[in-house]
Amino acid sequence: MKIRIAPLWRWLGLLLWMVPVGAALAVCGTAQVAVQVLGSGGPVPDGDRASSGYLVWIDGRSRLLVDAGGGTFLRFGQAGAKIADLDFIAITHLHTDHVADLPALLMGGFFADRARPLPLSGPTGGGAFPGMREFVVGLFDPKHGIFRYLGGFTDGSGGLFETPVTEVDASRTTPQRIYADARMQIAAIGVHHGPVPALGYLVTVRGKRIAFSGDQNGQNPQFARMIRGADVLIMDHAVPEYAGPVARRLHAMPSEIGALARSAGVKELVLSHWMARSLVTWDRGLALIRERYQGPVVSAKDLQCIVVTAAQDPRGK
């Protein structure tokens, strides 16, 4: 007799991780500093999760987008975010589940009357992967781009805003400061994701530090040093402990996630990039993480809001 297990984990997912969407949106829109999960899934359509994407909110405005996987276009709108408010878009790597919705999100800015440039960052190329500049040119080059009718994104013409690209050396495994303004500072570092050029990010806002692992196998100790003492670490939990050699080259196992969080001394660990293979072993994975890391552990859900600095009470309390 063949037993189908997919319905079981889907129902468990609904029971364990469903949150009131309205409440999450309200919290992010009022916090001084918050990070919101747009997509907590991976490259497989496993239930109700969009692919990877995150927003950093500052004083109720969506200022930073990290990754833009499939489904984040919809979640961006559901979150109440605005393209006009974005100061920066940071891409960890060029797998489709991290970048597929980027053209649609940028196009949405045309209807938001955005004029100021929107800078992007992403890794250098290697092997089968282009660098971030080549990727953007491939999308929007006025003569040869896939979306050549949106060529104005390359130079700010045609009523579109320019999207200048910072290409970060993914082979460099020490931190690189890539962006700073009056609101936030962003550093990036090359991380190991098998043969894929990939980055991790650290965002600092008013002394608070939010770290994004991107997809990585946890084998660059400099990442843990860069994010030392971070208030929040969003970490991919895509594979179980018994994953095969290919998956282990790409992603950290639960024991490695716990060790990394402990080594970095992060104050809160948010697990994301869920897939069926990691959901069905969630209890075992959590136990392995908790053997090594004793801080708070959160299982990410789409549209969930993690408050880093709450709104000030108008009564001064």
How far apart CA 198 and CA 211 sit, in angstroms, is 15
Quick: pLDDT tens for 176-195.
999 999 999 999 999 999 99
Question: What pLDDT score was predicted for residue 278?
Answer: 84
How far apart CA 26 and CA 49 sit, in angstroms, is 20
Q: Which amino acid is at 225?
A: R
Quick: pLDDT tens for 67-95.
999 999 999 999 999 999 999 999 999 99
Query: Environment class of residue 18 by beta-carbon count within 10 Å: exposed (0-12), middle (13-18) or buried (19+)?
Result: exposed
Distances (CA, A) of 167 to 4, 51, 187, 268: 45, 23, 12, 29
Question: What pLDDT score was predicted for residue 9?
Answer: 30
Cβ contacts of residue 311 below 8 Å, gap of 6+? 30, 31, 32
How far apart CA 117 and CA 83 sit, in angstroms, is 11
Is the pLDDT reported for residue 277 higher than 90? no
Lowest mean pLDDT among 11-15, 177-181, 287-291: 11-15
3-state DSSP assignment of residue 179: strand
Averaged pLDDT of the chain: 91
Task: Give pTM, 2 decimals.
Answer: 0.91
Q: What are the backbone angles phi and psi of residue 96, rounded to the nearest 5°? A: -60, -35
Mean pLDDT calculated for residue range 211-223: 97
Assigned CATH topology for domain 17-308: Metallo-beta-lactamase; Chain A (3.60.15)
| Domain coordinates in residue numbering, the chain | 17-308
Which residue reads 């991790």 in tokens? Answer: 200
Beta-bridge partner residues of 212: 201, 234
Band (113; pLDDT cuts 50, 70, 90): confident
